[in-house]
């Protein structure tokens, strides 16, 4: 059986390899941060889109102006709770066509809108 003359050599190899692994993982950190940022932006966009679809259904059910205004107020309360600085608007474009717009702010102002039959 041959005895190893350099007892600390293996430990140095392990420390160097751990340092290299740490550098690789640190280089991936900005990518992970961007993924988290884009994920939250897409989450808010999905919520806004679902809110637009929900309100378009409310417009089909509530045909009278007073009920539509009440539905818009209730919808805006929900928007304020689930989106940062969420606020919705309803614009009549013609007799039976409306534009629904929702605005929110997450690091930058964002708007999503749809045109529906109302």
Per-residue pLDDT tens for 21-77?
A: 999 999 999 999 989 888 988 999 999 999 999 999 988 888 888 988 999 999 999
Tokens encoding 54: 């929900």
Q: Phi/psi zone of residue 102: left (φ > 0), alpha (ψ -120 to 50 degrees), beta?
A: beta
- CB 72, CB 56: distance < 8 Å: no
Report how far apart, in Å, the C-alpha atoms of 44 and of each of 72, 94, 107 are: 20, 30, 12
pLDDT tens column, 61-75: 888 889 889 999 999
Tokens encoding 112: 């999503």
Q: Which alpha helices (H) appear in the chain, and where do they start and end?
A: 9-61, 65-82
Among candidate residues 43, 52, 58, the one with its CA nearest the CA of residue 103: 52
Q: Answer whether 0.75 is exceeded by the pTM.
A: no
Q: CA 110, CA 45: separation in Å to the nearest integer?
A: 9
Long-range contacts (CB closer than 8 Å, 24 or more residues apart) made by 23-29: none
């Amino acid at each position: 059986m041959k005895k190893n003359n350099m007892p600390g050599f293996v430990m140095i190899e392990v420390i160097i390899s751990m340092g290299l692994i740490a550098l690789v993982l640190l280089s991936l950190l900005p990518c992970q941060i961007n993924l988290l940022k884009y994920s939250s932006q897409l989450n808010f966009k999905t919520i806004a889109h679902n809110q637009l679809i929900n309100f378009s259904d409310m417009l089909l059910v509530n045909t009278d102006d007073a009920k539509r205004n009440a539905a818009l107020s209730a919808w805006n309360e929900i928007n304020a709770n689930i989106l940062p600085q969420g606020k919705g608007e309803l614009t009549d474009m013609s007799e039976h066509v409306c534009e629904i717009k929702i605005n929110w702010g997450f690091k930058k102002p964002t708007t999503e809108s749809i045109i529906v039959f109302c």
